[in-house]
Structure 1
Amino acid sequence: ARAVVAYHAARLAGRCLPRAWVPASLRASAGGCAVALTNVRGPPVALTICGRPVKRVVPFLPPPPGVAVGAALSTVGGQATLCFNCADGTHDAYALVGAAVAHWERLRAAAGE
């Protein structure tokens, strides 16, 4: 329930408050949230721009105010990319990313890759 309230509070803040007030209101609405997550789902086929192949799509989710980590997963053309962005002062950011990569490799192994 807390996450739902935080989500709607953030939407309301973005729509109704003066721009200068938004960061403080988002910090307050994040409450006990430590990670913001998103999945940028793309097409299952390779992409091109003006006939040239797109070699890589890198997702980006900067952590919202008051949140320590932004994590984004992008799937395009049968390839997945996971990206982490950590706020300044995030405790053990490298340990977090290392653990995520290790878990990712376990998932790949379980899938037979």
Structure 2
Amino acid sequence: MATPASPAFNTETLRRGIEADTASTLLSLYADDAEIRIVDRNTQPSHPKILQGRNEIRSLLDDVYSRDMRHKLETCVVQGDHAAYVESCEYPDGVRVLAESMISLRNGKITDQILIQAWDE
């Protein structure tokens, strides 16, 4: 019996991954050697937080999806092997987070991501 292939990147799979209750669908969109650079108040452009490989990405996503918050894909634009999207999040107390990502794709998987995020304080 064949093992089902992991989902390839498209807007609906990204939406399901972001808006899900767990990180598994979203994690399946990353290549094994993917890299994420995160820029925010704590990790500024000259010293971004860099996650390399699915294990480091899994740790981040497991932490994010363990929190009590809602995630929503606001918009996504795909052009060839690149995509950009906006994600909004909200905690039960009303604190909001907004993240914008630019990604590169290889064979339907995310290989590079630059994520810029801001949140209410």
Q: TM-score range by the shorter chain?
A: under 0.3
Q: What's the TM-score once normalised by structure 2's chain length?
A: 0.25
Q: What's the TM-score once normalised by structure 1's chain length?
A: 0.27
Per residue, is there more helix in 1 or in 2? 1
Per residue, is there more strand in 1 or in 2? 2
Max radius of gyration: which structure? 1
Which structure would you say has the larger RCO, counting Cα contacts within 8 Å and 6 or more residues apart? 2
